[in-house]
Amino acid sequence: DLPAYLANKPEDLGPDCYIFSTQGYCPRGLACRYNSNHVDKDGRNIRDSSKFVTGEQVTNQLDKDVQVKLRKKHYDFKWADGVCQEAWDIINKDDPSKQDLKVESNGAASLDNQTSEPPEKKMKTEEPIKSKPIGPVSDEDLVKLRKVEKKKLDWTNKTYLAPLTTVGNLPFRRVCKVLGADITCGEMALALPILQGHGPEWALLKKHHSEDFFGVQICGCSPPQMARVAQLLEERIECDFIDINMGCPIDLIYKKGMGSGLMARKRPMENIVRTMSNLMSKPLTLKMRTGIYSDKSIAHDIFPLVEEWGASALTIHGRSREQRYTRLADWEYIGKCVETVNVPVFGNGDIMNFEDYNLQKEKSNVNGIMLARGALIKPWLFKEIKEQKHWDISGQERLDIVKDFCNYGLEHWGSDDKGVENTRKFLLEWLSFAHRYVPHGILLYPPQKINERLPIYKGRNELETLLSSPNSDDWVKISEMFLGKVRDDFQFMAKHKANSYS
């Protein structure tokens, strides 16, 4: 009953629909909460052909037929399984400690090498039917891709937006691209849900057409799983490089041997890097920490190994898993790691302004620097680095950036009720970091340092004061400027503990 729906429909949240204004058509139609300029009095959705965009705006969508094959386990992974087994054969042949479990005289088992991993169970694979080919055949399955034939990327002096869980979503990456970021990377995606065709996990791999230097990051602990993911990404995903997460410190990830837990598992790590590198024509990169424990750094030992196994570039966060954010990043150690390899290395940790960027880049001799919390607190950090100056950005300019995020969010998640609330949720997560920025013009001792907890202060106008508020109720007020009022019982609590100073 269209008339009844129109009569009971809540008021629009704003006069203009960003999607219709930029693309000439809003797919949400009547459900759009900004539909006054693209729905006529009869409830029909208006199209403006003069604004139509050509080409896909967002790629790496999960095709339905691929999802069905993955869920029913009908996807053909024989190639990946074969390469994974070949890697195990090389490891077991070269590693004399592969049989490190010995039975002592008293019947107890002991490990000679505590850092090595027991051999993984071999996956059951069907033997391929051998038959002679008829007619001309390609040699792509016979001639292995050499390292020199992989896609070449220029990593030198690039600013790199870190893959940030939850807050490193596609709309935020678009904001950073507009403000000067060179390299962007999708949020960390887990290998097993990817292989199961899980829609929300595949959504983390989506790429906007403006991301001209884009990678996806995968986290996993099982070599056979990671091999299959590599084949899937090679065949289905459009990106410039693929990154393995070896730095995630979260207990849920670490205790399963993923993220930073993979740093201590040499055999699985070697198989994963060898296999994924052999399966992909795209460069394989790794991001890791200095180590697991504060008093034992191991990254400098891992760096030359993963280079030998096939990594094309490396990134190191200058803290251990145990440290989290309780200490400053160790850029001297990052420099030590750079000296151990010939592949490009990116450093990461505590960069908040272009002076920090210049100092640490020169000290460590890295090829480039990855920005994480600094980019969340001030996304225009990329612009400051490129222009080599501090930007005393006004409150209105900061609010315009928030508006851009909301527009990109409505385009990505939808402009209906569900899309609006998704956009609000991710906006509030970002504002839980962004409120920590202090305007450069009111600092007594500029520039601002990322680890400095400043007292509550009053901005140069009410808007600056509002944007700097640590109160989540004020963040909700900011969201209401663009996304409408929230329910009376609405509450928000930041997901990330890293938004704090400790």
**For residue 467, which amino acid is it?**
L
Q: Judging by beta carbons within 10 Å of its beta carbon (0-12, 13-18, 19+), is residue 41 exposed, middle or buried?
A: exposed
Q: Are 308 and 315 in contact (CB under 8 A)?
A: no
Cα 309–Cα 315–Cα 317 angle in degrees, nearest 5:
130
Question: Quick check: helix, strand or coil at residue 116?
Answer: coil
Whole-angstrom distance, CA of residue 452 vs CA of residue 471: 18
For 356-374, the DSSP string reads HHHHHHHHHT-SEEEESHH
Residue 102 burial by Cβ neighbours in a 10 Å radius (0-12, 13-18, 19+):
exposed
What residues are labeled active site? Answer: 248
Give the span between the Cα atoms of 166 and 77, in whole angstroms: 30
Judging by beta carbons within 10 Å of its beta carbon (0-12, 13-18, 19+), is residue 24 exposed, middle or buried? Answer: middle
Question: CB-based contacts of 483: which residues, under 8 Å, 6+ apart?
Answer: 13, 406, 420, 423, 424, 427
Q: Which residue has the tokens 């990593």?
A: 155
